[in-house]
Amino acid sequence: MTRPMNPPNPPNPPKATWQTDSPGPRKSTRSLQRARRRASVARFWRRYRTHRAGVAGLAGLTLLAVLALAAPWLVGDDVQSVTRAPGRALEPPSGAFPLGTDQFGRSLLGLLVWGSRISLTVGLLAAALSVAIGTLVGVVAGHYRGWISTAVMRITDWFLVMPTLVLAIVLATVLSRSVWTVILAIGVTTWPTTARLVRAQTIAVESRPYIERAKALGGGHRHLMTRHVLPQVMPLVLAQTTLGISAAILTEATLAFLGLGDPTVVSWGGMLQDAREAGAVSSGHWWYLAPPGIAVALVALAFTLCGRAVESVLNPRLGVSR
Amino acid sequence: MITTAHHRSPGPALFLRSRAGRRPHPLLRLLLAVGIAAPTLIAGPPQAQAQTRAEAQAWPRAQAQAPAAVPGTGQLMDSPASAVGTRVRADEGNSDGKTDGKDDKSNGDGKTGAGNVLTVAVSQSVDSLSPFLAQRLVSTSVHRLIYEYLTNYDPRDARPVPGLATAWSPSADKLTWTYTIRKDSTWSDGRPATAEDAAWTFGRMMKDPGAATANGSFTANFAEVTAPDPETLVIRLKKPQATMTALDVPIVPKHIWEKVGDFSTFNNDTRFPVVGNGPFVLTDYKVDRYIRLRANKNFWRGAPKFDELVFRYYKDGDAAVAALRKGEVSFVPHLTPAQAASLKNAENIQVNDAPGRRFLALATNPGARAKNGGRFGSGHPALLDPVVRRALFHAVDRQTIVEKVFQGHAVEGEGYLPPRFSAYFWKPAASQRIAHDPAKAAALLDEAGYRRDGSGRRLGKDGRPLDFRVLCHATDPHDKAVGKYLREWWGELGIGLRVVCLDNVSDPWLKGDYDLAFDGWSVNPDPDFVLSIHTCSALPATPADTGATDNFICDERFDRLYAQQAVEYDAARRGDLVRQMQSRLYDTGFMNVMVYPNALEAYRTDQIGSITTMPEAAGNLYGQDGYWSWWSAEPAAAGGAASDGGGSSPAVAIGIGISVVLVIAVGILTSRRRRATADDRE
């Protein structure tokens, strides 16, 4: 579906030979591949650049990633400390505390920056886990067909109709409270859509003649799946991951807000939960509620914008989009 | 919330779109999604969470039991003869003949129509409406309102005052108690309430273990209960019992309850109205929606001033406060400091901030054990060393907890019982007091041989770092907040702490799978129950059983003192014994009371004109040891219910803000879409 003109291990050298002067056959294959990859990345970037929303999302993400990585130097680990909190409880925004303080007197701006680390980590890892499970299931189901496919897809369907959040809540309740539990809970509840997508793509790929040729040459199941199918579904998986991250971040915030996260870890959802527990809603302390909520929304937006752009670059058949 | 989040997941939509080959504008989808998600994130929790939260607000293990089990008082010896039959001022002038007149008067008052409804916001779910099973605060409070008990507590000083019994006296050998039952109490179906009903109620609890579930501790020592005539109830005891004037057992109508088959499963919530003789009659109940009560116009002490009392469920504290601001409810308990602060400035709202009857303690696992000597659980061995416990408590700054976590709405912890119960209050002497002193804590650990390793972590005797778990109620914000402080204070000693927050702490607790735990109980005017849970006899029989024990404490000296106070009828001597018990409990170092949280509650002054707190000077309103607050509540003179609190405006502003942003976004999107498709259109 995507990159149809680039089958892996092509029998005939493509037009991209202009970069190499082929010193030897083995080395030239490898450098050829590298060159082609470079070219396709460059082509991808050229096409990606045309999506303004995608670029905006990417810029936002870069900024956020820098903030999150630099948080220990920007705000310091001390920002989480309740015993060394600098302010009074629930102070409104001021020069010293641009976003006010929480009920322990900690700076909300500092907590917001610090919380981005957990929100991003959980979002990335949970989406990666979810997509990994989905890809594995999807490729297996698409490759084997028959009763294996039927059985695996019925399980997938079962997970698909289960309300994700309810399942995640149950998991997070049963397991001990930690960041890893949340990652696991999100990961194992959101994979079915990826599995279905990947299975469809696998079936499409496997109907191509070169798969038949590989089979004829003696390629086993494992070889076919890892060498021929997987590279072809990767673009789809990449797009799905990017989109999945925003969902995972929202789910993480939701779980933390529901009090199912690790209470000693600062995250955006956890901040919302703390705000609710302090009664910030009814007492009108909007500066406690709004920043983490907006931050969650913005990050989810940024990831979605990127995901959409990636998707439409890799899959031109999706139609118009900017 | 749940459906929203589910639909939010971009997965299924993507899948459908890929096949259809078309998709809506991504920005539009996202903004809509955010628009849906943001308010739900801000607005409040879904039921699942709120449900459990509500249950834990009552300190699942703690408060659940407490109100039910309120053993005796020593007031009697002050004037053994005159106390008998003394009527409190509250019921003066309310003799038998006036009941009809009162009825007429109330009917006259009732002409104002259905306006006289007192609505109270509650969050705790009812466990059972059967007085034989109910243990939670909300259920036992309802029972106080719909059934009479033999005695009640004076709202001023919690002295026992007449309830269904007008007088009582023990025999010379302290083993036979004779109660005089009042003639002017009738069941709501018209039959008189007599000694026969009381005798049947106690007799049932003695015979049937299913009926002894909630209040069995009161009747365990009863030998025989008889009703020689309708106005006399005689209770014979096996040995003296100090709680005989504080028998917190609702007396139920025999002619209704003798038809009940299995007391362990009957929840008394099938037929309404429920026949009772308290100040209110239970007329309707829907699980987690409302409990509705009608005033009993024939109540012997005088009819309540409100015609109807409704406990309405608000699983979210913020929602309850919003309802109070709008005047939809008249009373909200369990406020947070921030809510109380903002309500203080609100018009027509009175905030009641009074010393509570609860304590919040830190309990250490003394090595869970059973009566048969079997040990179980996974408590940390280092905590069996008194030095380690002492060091941990030395590092706790109770004053900071009061100031930061409770923001002043609490009193620093001293002994076991809150200062409100002055007859029993005890505070440690300067020599035994474990004051806040981190340096001393570190020195104690160093001396005892708990050295720090290279990375600063304190090592146990087995050479492994000291890492403790503290069991916290996931639904109680205070536990989590205190946990944050403990982590840092003990972290400075080099001791690690993992805050294990669970919705249901009972399971690991009963199995002894904890190192430390946040422990809280509501204390009754008679401290017998909260003391009994630390005796050896409260331990489970075998490791497989469940005992009434709170923290697996079993101390010989404590038990000896407990046995002495249980049979002590002299108030002063009993108070002294109870103080000695607290001193002993403090010295064992298994429990350290951090704070006594205040009762923080608010009501609308334009709906409730006056209401009685208990104790009258600086007391709480919700969860009293009697029916005083709701029975005494008077409607406000002018019905100026239509007013709004000033504080609701930020919420409105936020709502308007979100709408405006959405409208603008949709507008921009539409125009961009039109531009984008301009080529196609032409």
Q: What is the CATH classification number for the domain harbouring B309?
A: 3.40.190.10
Residue of B225, B280, B218 lying closest to B254 (CA atoms): B225
Let me know: does B358 contact B419? Beta carbons within 8 Å.
no
B121: pLDDT strictly greater than 50: yes
For residue B499, tell me if it sits in a domain: yes
Residue of B589, B534, B573, B577 lying closest to B556 (CA atoms): B534
Cis omega (within 30 of 0) for bond into B428: no
Average pLDDT, chain B: 80
Cβ within 8 Å, pair B10-A304: yes
More confident residue, B407 or B19: B407
Q: How far is B32 from chain A (nearest CA, A)?
A: 11
pLDDT given for residue B276 in this prediction: 94
The pLDDT tens digits for A125-152 are: 999 999 999 999 999 999 998 899 999 9
A91: pLDDT strictly greater than 60: yes
Cβ neighbors of A245 (< 8 A, separation 6 or more) are: A123, A124, A127, A303, A307
Cβ within 8 Å, pair B41-A254: yes
pLDDT given for residue B657 in this prediction: 76
Cβ within 8 Å, pair A165-B6: yes
For residue B216, tell me if it sits in a domain: no
What's the average model confidence in pLDDT over B612-625?
Answer: 87
**B80 at interface of A, judged by CB pairs closer than 8 A:** no
pLDDT given for residue B416 in this prediction: 94
Percent of chain B with pLDDT over 70: 79
CA distance linking residue A41 with residue A52, whole number of Å: 18
Three-class secondary structure assignment of chain A: CCCCCCCCCCCCCCHHHHHCCCCCHHHHHHHHHHHHHHHHHHHHHHHHHCCHHHHHHHHHHHHHHHHHHHHHHHCCHHHHCCCCCCCCCCCCCCCCCCCCECCCCCEHHHHHHHHHHHHHHHHHHHHHHHHHHHHHHHHHHHHHCHHHHHHHHHHHHHHHHCCHHHHHHHHHHHCCCCHHHHHHHHHHHCCHHHHHHHHHHHHHHHCCHHHHHHHHCCCCHHHHHHHHHHHHHHHHHHHHHHHHHHHHHHHHHHHHHCCCCCCCCCCHHHHHHHHHHCCCCCCCCHHHHHHHHHHHHHHHHHHHHHHHHHHHHHCHHHCCCC
What's the average model confidence in pLDDT over B147-154?
Answer: 93
Same domain assignment for residues B337 and B378: no
Neighbour count for residue A135 (Cβ, 10 Å):
25
pLDDT given for residue B469 in this prediction: 93
Let me know: does B503 contact B350? Beta carbons within 8 Å.
no
pLDDT given for residue B65 in this prediction: 37
Neighbour count for residue B500 (Cβ, 10 Å):
21
Q: Which of B123, B318, B507 to mutate to test binding with chain A, by most A CBs within 10 Å of its CB?
A: B318
| Domain tally, chain B | 2
CA distance linking residue A57 with residue A301, whole number of Å: 7
Burial track B376-412 (b if 16+ CB lie within 10 A, e otherwise):
bbebbebbebebbbbbbbbbbbbebbbebbbbebbbb
Same domain assignment for residues B348 and B408: no
**B259 at interface of A, judged by CB pairs closer than 8 A:** no
Among A21-30, A155-164, B189-198, B376-385, the minimum mean pLDDT is found in A21-30
pLDDT given for residue A315 in this prediction: 74
What's the average model confidence in pLDDT over B263-277?
Answer: 91
The pLDDT tens digits for B289-302 are: 999 999 999 999 99
A283 CB neighbours in chain B (<8 A) are 321, 336, 338-339, 341-343, 647
List the beta bridge partners of residue B383.
none
Q: Which of B577, B597, B617 is the last residue of a domain?
A: B597
What's the average model confidence in pLDDT over A35-44?
Answer: 91
B341 CB neighbours in chain A (<8 A) are 283
Q: Which two tokens stand for residue A89?
A: 């409880």
Among A22-31, A36-45, B379-388, B445-454, the minimum mean pLDDT is found in A22-31
Same domain assignment for residues B347 and B364: no
Residue of B521, B566, B568, B576 lying closest to B548 (CA atoms): B521
Residue of B291, B270, B276, B80 lying closest to B174 (CA atoms): B80
More confident residue, B105 or A173: A173
Among A18-27, A202-211, B79-88, B406-415, the minimum mean pLDDT is found in B79-88
CA distance linking residue B598 with residue B423, whole number of Å: 19
Same domain assignment for residues B603 and B588: no
A170: pLDDT strictly greater than 90: no
B378: pLDDT strictly greater than 50: yes
Environment class of residue B158 by beta-carbon count within 10 Å: exposed (0-12), middle (13-18) or buried (19+)? buried
- Helix A108-144 and helix A286-314: axis angle, to 10°? 30
Q: pLDDT band at residue B680, thresholds of 50, 70 and 90?
A: low
Task: Kindly state the DSSP code that residue B249 receives in the 8-state scheme.
Answer: -
Q: pLDDT band at residue B106, thresholds of 50, 70 and 90?
A: very low
CA distance linking residue B43 with residue B20, whole number of Å: 35
Same domain assignment for residues B342 and B383: no
More confident residue, B31 or A281: A281
A13: pLDDT strictly greater than 90: no
B647: pLDDT strictly greater than 50: no
Q: How far is B519 from chain A (nearest CA, A)?
A: 18
Supply the range of the domain harboring residue B505. 360-597
Cβ within 8 Å, pair A263-B34: no
Q: Which two tokens stand for residue A295?
A: 């931050």
For residue B553, tell me if it sits in a domain: yes
For residue B622, tell me if it sits in a domain: no
Interface list for B 501-530 with A (CB within 8 A): 501-503
The pLDDT tens digits for B462-477 are: 888 999 999 998 778 8
pLDDT given for residue A27 in this prediction: 65
Cβ neighbors of B358 (< 8 A, separation 6 or more) are: B59, B62, B63, B418, B520, B521, B522, B523, B596, B597
Q: Is the four-CA dihedral B486, B488, B494, B498 of positive or negative sign?
A: positive
pTM of the model: 0.76
Percent of chain B with pLDDT over 90: 54
A197: pLDDT strictly greater than 80: yes
Among B259-263, B440-444, B668-672, the minimum mean pLDDT is found in B668-672
**B651 at interface of A, judged by CB pairs closer than 8 A:** yes
For residue B97, tell me if it sits in a domain: yes
Q: Which of A250, A282, A299 to mutate to test binding with chain B, by most B CBs within 10 Å of its CB?
A: A282
CA distance linking residue B65 with residue B63, whole number of Å: 5
For residue B35, tell me if it sits in a domain: no
More confident residue, B323 or B31: B323
Q: pLDDT band at residue B438, thresholds of 50, 70 and 90?
A: very high
Phi, psi of B439 (to 5 degrees): -65, -45
User: Above 0.85 for ipTM, yes or no?
Assistant: no
Cβ neighbors of B341 (< 8 A, separation 6 or more) are: A283
What CATH number does residue B413 fall under? 3.10.105.10
A79 CB neighbours in chain B (<8 A) are none
Chain centroid to CA B486: 24
What does the longest C-alpha to C-alpha distance in chain A come to? 75
Cβ within 8 Å, pair A263-B339: no
Same domain assignment for residues B334 and B372: no
CA distance linking residue B151 with residue B162, whole number of Å: 5
Cβ within 8 Å, pair B336-A289: no
- Helix B26-43 and helix B648-676: axis angle, to 10°? 170
Same domain assignment for residues B496 and B566: yes
List the single residue in A192, A247, A280 with the smallest CB-CB distance to B8.
A247
B100: pLDDT strictly greater than 80: no
CA distance linking residue A134 with residue A173, whole number of Å: 24
**B13 at interface of A, judged by CB pairs closer than 8 A:** no
Same domain assignment for residues B516 and B634: no
The pLDDT tens digits for B177-228 are: 999 999 999 999 999 999 999 999 999 999 988 888 888 888 989 999 999 9
Cβ within 8 Å, pair B475-A259: yes
Residue of B281, B242, B263, B303 lying closest to B568 (CA atoms): B242
Same domain assignment for residues B493 and B460: yes
Q: How far is A23 from chain B (nearest CA, A)?
A: 44
A290 CB neighbours in chain B (<8 A) are 654
pLDDT given for residue A208 in this prediction: 92
Instruction: Please give the residue of chain A at the shortest CA–CA distance from B3.
Output: A163
**B39 at interface of A, judged by CB pairs closer than 8 A:** no
Tell me whether strands B496-502 and B467-473 are parallel, antiparallel or unpaired: parallel
B652: pLDDT strictly greater than 80: no
Same domain assignment for residues B469 and B529: yes
pLDDT given for residue A28 in this prediction: 80
A192 CB neighbours in chain B (<8 A) are 11
Q: How far is B49 from chain A (nearest CA, A)?
A: 6
The continuous run of DSSP H or E covering B635 comes out as: strand B634-635
B29: pLDDT strictly greater than 60: no
Q: pLDDT band at residue B564, thresholds of 50, 70 and 90?
A: very high
Same domain assignment for residues B418 and B514: yes
List the beta bridge partners of residue B167.
B180
B4: pLDDT strictly greater than 80: no
Cβ within 8 Å, pair B2-A166: yes
Same domain assignment for residues B429 and B501: yes
The continuous run of DSSP H or E covering B2 comes out as: helix B2-8
Cβ within 8 Å, pair A293-B38: yes
Three-class secondary structure assignment of B312-325: EECCCHHHHHHHHH
Q: pLDDT band at residue B663, thresholds of 50, 70 and 90?
A: confident
For residue B173, tell me if it sits in a domain: no
B88: pLDDT strictly greater than 70: no
Let me know: does B324 contact B608? Beta carbons within 8 Å.
no
For residue B497, tell me if it sits in a domain: yes
More confident residue, B103 or A294: A294
Cβ within 8 Å, pair B335-A257: no
Cβ within 8 Å, pair A104-B404: yes
**B271 at interface of A, judged by CB pairs closer than 8 A:** no
Among A9-18, B307-316, B383-392, B452-461, the minimum mean pLDDT is found in A9-18
Instruction: Please give the residue of chain A at the shortest CA–CA distance from B480.
Output: A263
